[in-house]
Structure 1
C-alpha cells in the first residue's frame, strides 16, 4: 500500500484508498493468499467453535440456538470481512470475541438467554458510541508498541506450547506435519512454490487419512443453518455483569491484538472505522444470538504470515468468503471440523503462528520498554482473571503502569 493509498490518519474516520475492481482483486490473489485464508478459517472453525459449543451446552442452549450463534459469528462477520478487506485493501478479518464467549458461560447459569442477548445489544451500542468519538485510535497510539506486543506474545504463547504438546500427544499426526514444515522452510526454492504451512496442511491430511483418526459421525441434522431470531430482554443484572467486560474484550483485548499484528505486518489499520463497525455488527449479530464482533488477532496474524503486503487483503477476502460458507453450512462443517484429531488443529495453528510469535518477541524486547513489555507478557501468559476480565487486559494495564513508573525515559526517547 503506497503512501497515497493509506487511510487518512488525520481524519476522525479513516478514508479508504481507491477501491480495486474484481479484475484487480483477481490479479492480486494467488495460491498462498488463498491458503492463508483457508488456514485462518480452519483455526477459527475448530478450537474457537469448540468453545462456543461448550459454552452453549453449559448454558442450556438448544441445538438450534447454538447453530444460530455459529451462523451469526461466521456468516455475518464473513460478509463484513469481505467488504472491509476489499475496500481498505488490508486483511481485516472480523470474527467474534473468544474471551467474551468464555464470560458468557457462567452468566447463562443464572441469566436467561434473552437477557444475555440484551447485554450483547447494549455492548454493541457502547462500542459504536466509543468508536464514533474517534478516541480509540488516539488511545491505542498512546500505549507503547512493545507493551502491546508483549501482550500479543503472551496470548500467542499458547499456540507454541500447544504445538509442543501435540507432538508428544499424537506423534503420528504432528511429527509428519512438523518435518514437512521444517524441510520446506529450510529449502528456500521449494518454499517459494509451496509455502511451509501448506505443506504441513497436506501432510496432516495424509496423516489423518492413513491413521484413520478422522471420526465423522453424521447425526442426521440439516446441512444448512437456520438462524433463530433472538429477541433481547433488558436486565440490569446482565448489563452490570456483562456489558463492560464484553466491551473491554472487544476494544482492548481482541481489537488490540488485531491492530498490533496488522501493524507489525506493515498495515495502517483504520482503527476508528473498525471500532464503529464492531459496534454496529455486534448489534446485528445479537439478532442471531451471537456474541460481540471484534477485529480478531490470531486469524489476522495467519492472514499476514506470508506474501506481499499489498496483496494480503485477498487472503482476508478469501477468509471472509469461506467464513460465509461455513456459517451457511454450520451444522455440517462443525461436525467435520470437530471430527479431526485435536493434534491436527493444534499443530497446524502452532506452526502457522511461529513466525508471528517470533515477530512479537522481537518487537516487544528489541529496544525500548523492555521491562514493561516483560511484565505485560508475564501477566498475560499467567491467565489471571479479575472481575471477570482476563489476563490480556490486566497485562496491558500493568505494563503501562510499569512503563510510566520505571521507563519514563523511553517515553521521552520515543
Structure 2
C-alpha cells in the first residue's frame, strides 16, 4: 500500500554527503523569493476573515510548518525532491466559508477534508486513477499551471527594463562561465547589486524576531461546511496540488510515492486544522523548483527539497521578520528569478506533452485551461485541465487511450 523507500536513516545519513552549491542554492533562493511574494497575499486574505491577530498568526504558522514537515519526511525517506506547503486555492475556499460558518466549523470541515484525503490514500484509489491519465495531458497541465510564473519575467521587464536586463546578463554570465553553479544565482547577485546602485531598496524598521505562536483550535462539525469546505478542499489537495507534484516528478524521471504522498497529505490536513490552518500538503510549484535541473545531479535533488521545506518553516515561525523583508527586495527581481527557475520545468513539460501525436486535442485543452487559471465550483484550473483534457481525448481521439502500466509498477 505505502511505497517502500530508502528509509529516513539513509536519507539523513546521505544528506550531508550529497550537499553541493547547486542543490543548496536552488533550495534556498527561489523558494525564499516565491514564498516572499505570496506571503503578503496570504496574510491579507486570512486577515479579511475578521479573526483575531493571534488566530491569523496561528493560521500562518500552521500552514507554513505542517506541510514542509511532511515534505522533509518524504524527501529524506524516498530521496525524491518533494516540497510541502499549503493549497492557495484551498485558502480562498476556507476564507470564503467564514461568511457562513464560525472559525471552529471551518477548521472542523478542514479536518474532515484531511480525513477524506487520508482514506483515499489508504485505499490506493488515487494511484490507480493516475494510471489512467495520459502523460501528455498531465504534463500540459503542469506547463500551463507554471506558465504564469514564466510570464512574470515579461511583467517584471515592463516594470523595470534595466534591472531585468542586468539580471539576465547575470544569468548568461554564470551559465557560460560557471556552468556547474545555478545560473539563477548569477541573476540574483547581479540584480541585487544593480538594485542597490539604483537605490531601489526601501528603509525598513527594526526586525521583530519574536516567533509566531501556534494555537489549538477545537473543531466543530457542520453538514453545510462539509459540502462547502471539506469536499472542495479534499479535491484541491488531490486533484491540483498533489497531481501537479506527481506529474512534475514523473516527467523528470522520478518515481513519486503516490500513495504515501496522498496519505501524508491527509495527515497533514488533519494536524494543520487542529492548529488553525486549512491544510498541509504537497506543493506543486515548490516541488518543481526543488526538482529542476538547477538543483544539480538528479539523485541529489532531494537536498534542494529539504532546504525548500526549511525555508517555509522559517517563514511561518518568524512571520514578523518576513513582513519586514516584503518591503526590502524589489518585486521585479523576485519575478525574474522565479521565472528563470521555471524555465527548464515548463520547457520540459511542453516537450513531453507534445512529443507524441497522441492525445493532441486533450493536451491542447489541458494546456489552455491550466494557463487560464479558471475556477469552477471553487475548484481550481489544474483539476479541470486534467478532467476536461481527458474528456476531450476520450470523445475525439478514443483510440489513443491505454492504461499507463508504468505508474502501476511504482
Same fold by TM-score greater than 0.5:
yes
Q: 1:154 to 1:116 in 2, by over 3 A?
A: same
CA positional deviation for 1:338: 5.0
Q: How does 1:97-112 map to 2 (within 5 A)?
A: 97-112=87-102
- 1:169 corresponds in structure 2 to 159
Q: 1:130 to 1:23 in 2, by over 3 A?
A: closer
Structure 2 residue matching 1:322: 3-state secondary structure: helix
CA positional deviation for 1:401: 0.5
Q: How does 1:2-401 map to 2 (within 5 A)?
A: 12-18=1-7, 19-20=9-10, 22-185=12-175, 187=176, 189-192=177-180, 194-215=181-202, 217-218=204-205, 223-306=210-293, 307-367=296-356, 368-401=358-391
Contact 1:45 1:337 in 2 (8 A): no
Contact 1:46 1:338 in 2 (8 A): no
Name which of structure 1's ranges 168-177 and 306-315 shifts more when overlaid on structure 2. Answer: 168-177
Q: How far apart, CA to CA, are the structure 1 residues paired with 2:159 and 2:311?
A: 30
1:325-376 deviations in Å (ceiling 9; x for gaps): 3322222123314542321221111111111110111111110212210011
Q: How far apart, CA to CA, are the structure 2 residues paired with 1:271 and 1:338?
A: 39
Structure 2 residue matching 1:381: 3-state secondary structure: helix
1:261-288 deviations in Å (ceiling 9; x for gaps): 1111211000001100000111111122
Q: How far apart, CA to CA, are the structure 2 residues paired with 1:398 and 1:338?
A: 41
Contact 1:37 1:319 in 2 (8 A): yes
Q: How far apart, CA to CA, are the structure 2 residues paired with 1:21 and 1:302?
A: 20
CA positional deviation for 1:207: 2.8
CA positional deviation for 1:396: 1.1
CA positional deviation for 1:97: 0.7
Q: How far apart, CA to CA, are the structure 2 residues paired with 1:260 and 1:324?
A: 25
Q: How far apart, CA to CA, are the structure 1 residues paired with 2:233 and 2:206?
A: 34
What residue ranges of structure 2 are gaps of 5+ in the alignment?
405-410
CA positional deviation for 1:232: 1.8
Contact 1:251 1:294 in 2 (8 A): no
1:111-161 deviations in Å (ceiling 9; x for gaps): 322221111101001101111111111111110011111111111111121
Structure 1 residue matching 2:192: 3-state secondary structure: helix
Structure 1 residue matching 2:281: 3-state secondary structure: strand
1:42-98 deviations in Å (ceiling 9; x for gaps): 144223323311211222233322222221122232222222211111111111111
Name which of structure 1's ranges 290-299 and 127-136 shifts more when overlaid on structure 2. Answer: 290-299
Structure 2 residue matching 1:28: 3-state secondary structure: coil
CA RMSD of aligned residues (A): 2.0
Contact 1:40 1:300 in 2 (8 A): no
Structure 2 residue matching 1:20: 3-state secondary structure: helix
Q: How far apart, CA to CA, are the structure 2 residues paired with 1:338 and 1:298?
A: 24
Compute the TM-score of the two structures, normalised by the length of structure 1: 0.91
Compute the TM-score of the two structures, normalised by the length of structure 2: 0.92
CA positional deviation for 1:200: 1.1
Structure 1 residue matching 2:253: 3-state secondary structure: coil
Contact 1:67 1:331 in 2 (8 A): no
Aligned length: 400
CA positional deviation for 1:41: 2.5
Q: How far apart, CA to CA, are the structure 1 residues paired with 2:202 and 2:108?
A: 38
What residue ranges of structure 1 are gaps of 5+ in the alignment?
1-11
